[in-house]
Amino acid sequence: MTRRMIILTEGHTNPRTAKTASCLIRYRRDDVVAVLDSTEAGRTTQPLLGVGGDLPVVGSLDAAPQADTLVIGIAPPGGKIPPAWRAVVLAAIERGMNIVSGLHDFLGDDAQFAAAAQQHGVRIDDVRRNDEQTIATREGLRPDCLRIHTVGHDCSVGKMVVSVELTNALKAAGHDAKFIATGQTGILVEGDGCPIDRVIVDFVSGAAERQVLAHQHHDILVVEGQGSLYHPAYSAVTLGLLHGCLPHGMILCYEIGRDSPVGFPGIPLPPLAEVRRVFEEMANVMFPARVIGVAMNSRTVSADQAEQEQRRVRDELGLPVCDVIRHGPAELVEAVEHLRRKCLESVP
């Protein structure tokens, strides 16, 4: 893995658009040298992204000469690179820096970038590139490996963060748990996984299943969810992943105040109880599963408001509820441990 990253977020250094940046800083802080955004140069990432402490935001590559890798730090809808960023990518290549990108538009397939990379002897790592060509088989699943899956009412609500925090807390409690990354950011954080939204749709459940089969020597897998059954563009990603990883238990993730899917302001999202019902229904089409806890993202509200909401959802759904960043994931760890005991009891 790369070691001295500068993360390009030019003009988009906010927690929503710069999801890749903020997660890399959160989980690989020691490998990040700076964030590159000329519109915020001179500041630090903490007030902008809520992570990173004194990590500097710089205005040019010159200001972070120790960086050896340029990471594209946003995940725009459709995954195209903003045209204005091309010059920065080329400049980085000319300095001998490797490029890491999670965009759908593969930078390595761009003739100009590819030629420059060859000339300067650097690597372009397109994290979403994959060659998944296997359909799901439903064979070989270990009954004594517990599969947990984070799902949500929308994309970009924190499913990856919840998955990582939960996995880390399970490990800290002595469990043999593994985070299964299914998106470009998770893959950069964990060092393995599958970019599930980039798989050919016939093979998407197969790709998720392969991740489970490859890692089920662990006791507990926490499979990062993608999108939402309620997202007008990405619901197929969500269902293919759900039906490929066949969870025993789901963690329902949501953001307080999110009332429409990202990019679709006119479309209302239903109440949480309805989201829970539909995810359980669609999971159970293939395998018995239920939602065992709720992870709320309370980033935009006060601690008091978060606590009120926590009580409200707890009462309404009768489930453990927490913000894994604000409260820590202890309640979810307990819910997973409880489900694991129940599942082990039922294994012959």
Site for a copy of itself, rule CB under 8 A: 77-79, 104, 133-138, 196-202, 204-206, 229-230, 232-237, 239-241, 243, 264, 267, 278, 281-282, 285-286
Nearest residue (CB) to a copy of itself, 35 versus 136 = 136
Closest approach, Cβ 245 to a copy of itself, in A, equals 12
Nearest residue (CB) to a copy of itself, 35 versus 237 = 237
Closest approach, Cβ 259 to a copy of itself, in A, equals 16
Q: Is 125 exposed, middle or buried (0-12, 13-18, 19+ CB in 10 A)?
A: middle
Q: In this structure, are residues 88 and 61 in contact, taking their beta carbons and an 8 Å threshold?
A: yes
Closest approach, Cβ 74 to a copy of itself, in A, equals 16
How far is residue 36's CA from residue 79's CA, in Å, rounded to a whole number? 19
- CB burial of 33-44 (b: ≥16 within 10 Å; e: otherwise) equals bbbbbeebeebb
Angle between helices 330-346 and 159-172 (to 10 degrees): 70
Nearest to 33 by CA among 73, 72, 59, 69: 69
Q: In this structure, are residues 53 and 44 in contact, taking their beta carbons and an 8 Å threshold?
A: yes
Closest approach, Cβ 240 to a copy of itself, in A, equals 3
How far is residue 336's CA from residue 39's CA, in Å, rounded to a whole number? 43
Nearest to 282 by CA among 332, 235, 346: 235
Nearest residue (CB) to a copy of itself, 84 versus 201 = 201
Nearest residue (CB) to a copy of itself, 59 versus 264 = 264
Nearest residue (CB) to a copy of itself, 179 versus 230 = 230
Provide CB contacts within 8 A for 165, sequence distance 6+.
324, 325, 328, 329
Nearest residue (CB) to a copy of itself, 113 versus 234 = 234
Nearest residue (CB) to a copy of itself, 85 versus 230 = 230
Which amino acid does the sequence have at 244? G
Closest approach, Cβ 302 to a copy of itself, in A, equals 32
SS3 238: helix
Nearest residue (CB) to a copy of itself, 19 versus 243 = 243
Closest approach, Cβ 198 to a copy of itself, in A, equals 6
How far is residue 87's CA from residue 232's CA, in Å, rounded to a whole number? 33
Question: Cα-atom radius of gyration of the chain, to the nearest Å?
Answer: 20
Closest approach, Cβ 206 to a copy of itself, in A, equals 6
User: What secondary structure does DSSP assign to 240-295, as a single string?
Assistant: HHHHHH--SEEEEEEETT--S-TT-TTSPPPPHHHHHHHHHHHHHTTS--EEEEEE
Closest approach, Cβ 129 to a copy of itself, in A, equals 11
